[in-house]
């Protein structure tokens, strides 16, 4: 879709700066502003081959995005489709892109209850058999990418909506032992990578899932097991999202138990049809995330949007009636949120004296 110039102006979208997101985020003190991406020709990308050239030019621009994550290519379904049979083709597409364009690579995700190879869910596991499968998977995948992943999402979405452990195939057989095993193994295989717990719904300070994430981290720490960070996926809603103060409060809770946090899968969905009010809410939400991260830059290292081009978003496929969750519309015009973030980053840099440096 394309919005008229007057509508964009009304939504506060007309640019007041020419700098780009990663460039500004680093100047504001973050390590990166990045965008996840998927393999060309597959899933949401399949119907839009004509857009690849323009899309790639934006993604690969080092001033725009300084980090990337494979949205799908390193998940169990794709890298170990049969027991002990590994295929790194899709993961390599994004890893090679990161290397070629000098981007930080966040790797995602070693253990997750979803997008598993069917054999993982259909096998009648013994405890010992599942332990061996987890160790083999992490050893092979993290070992293959050793030295290339700045971060690993070792464990993804292990909490249910009430903050208790999700009853996954892993938990049902091994209990919380599988969590310890995953992090222990990842730490041995790639000791230089920052190891993360990653989840959605853990951005609000009073959320039971936020409390659950803190408990999970404490459990690992008490067992003497390495965990470096918490990833807040931040799949948010334009019309109902956390305040900047709430996000800062939540990050403060994580700061008590880990060394760093990141916003790892940011998107802000809109209930269609799109209008200028909804775009304004969306812009405000994106700005709140940016502000919260920059204002806690001693612990918040960066922000990743879960792709940047609306046609490649997962949102309409999973949440019917929602869409326009990213930063570029289908015709490659920008959402108001883009310039909202650019302008707010400029204000934050100016407030810091205009010469902030990367927090490292």
**What are the residue numbers of the active site?**
157, 265
Residues 90, 91, 92, 93: is their CA dihedral positive or negative?
positive
Degrees, nearest 5: CA angle 72-74-76: 95
Beta bridge partners of 70: 37
Whether 275 contacts 8, CB under 8 Å: no
Strand spans (E) along 200-342: 229-232, 235-237, 260-271, 300-305, 322-323
Distance CA 306, CA 13 (A): 21
Quote the tokens at residue 243. 């305040």
Ramachandran sector of residue 196 (left: φ over 0; alpha: ψ -120 to 50; beta: rest): beta
Beta bridge partners of 106: 151
Distance CA 170, CA 11 (A): 46
């Amino acid at each position: 879709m394309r919005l008229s110039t007057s509508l964009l102006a009304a939504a506060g979208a007309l640019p007041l700066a020419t700098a780009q997101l990663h460039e500004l985020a680093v100047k504001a003190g973050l390590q990166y502003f990045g965008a996840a991406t998927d393999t060309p020709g597959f899933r949401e990308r399949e119907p839009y081959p004509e857009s690849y050239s323009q899309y790639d030019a934006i993604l690969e621009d080092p001033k725009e995005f300084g980090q990337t994550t494979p949205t799908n290519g390193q998940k169990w379904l794709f890298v170990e489709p049969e027991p002990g049979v590994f295929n790194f083709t899709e993961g390599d597409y994004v890893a090679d892109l990161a290397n070629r364009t000098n981007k930080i690579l966040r790797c995602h995700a070693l253990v997750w209850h979803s997008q598993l190879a069917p054999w993982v869910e259909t096998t009648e596991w013994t405890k010992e058999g599942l332990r061996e499968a987890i160790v083999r998977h992490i050893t092979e995948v993290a070992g293959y990418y050793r030295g290339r992943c700045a971060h690993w999402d070792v464990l993804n979405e292990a909490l249910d909506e009430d903050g208790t452990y999700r009853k996954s195939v892993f938990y049902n057989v091994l209990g919380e032992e599988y969590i310890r095993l995953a992090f222990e193994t990842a730490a041995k295989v790639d000791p230089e990578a920052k190891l993360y717990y990653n989840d959605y719904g853990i951005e609000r300070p009073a959320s039971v899932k936020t409390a659950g994430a803190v408990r999970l981290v404490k459990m690992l720490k008490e067992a003497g097991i390495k965990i470096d960070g918490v990833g807040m996926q931040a799949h948010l809603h334009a019309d109902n999202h956390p305040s900047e103060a709430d996000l800062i409060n939540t990050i403060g809770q994580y700061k008590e138990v880990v060394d760093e946090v990141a916003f790892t899968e940011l998107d802000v969905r809109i209930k269609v049809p799109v209008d200028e009010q909804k775009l304004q809410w969306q812009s405000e939400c994106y700005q709140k995330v940016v502000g919260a991260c920059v204002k806690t830059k001693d612990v918040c290292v960066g922000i990743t949007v879960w792709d940047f081009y609306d046609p490649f978003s997962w949102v309409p496929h999973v949440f019917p009636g929602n869409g326009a969750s990213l930063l570029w519309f289908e015709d490659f015009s920008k959402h108001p949120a883009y310039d909202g973030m650019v302008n707010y980053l400029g204000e934050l840099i100016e407030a810091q004296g205009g010469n902030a440096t990367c927090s490292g």
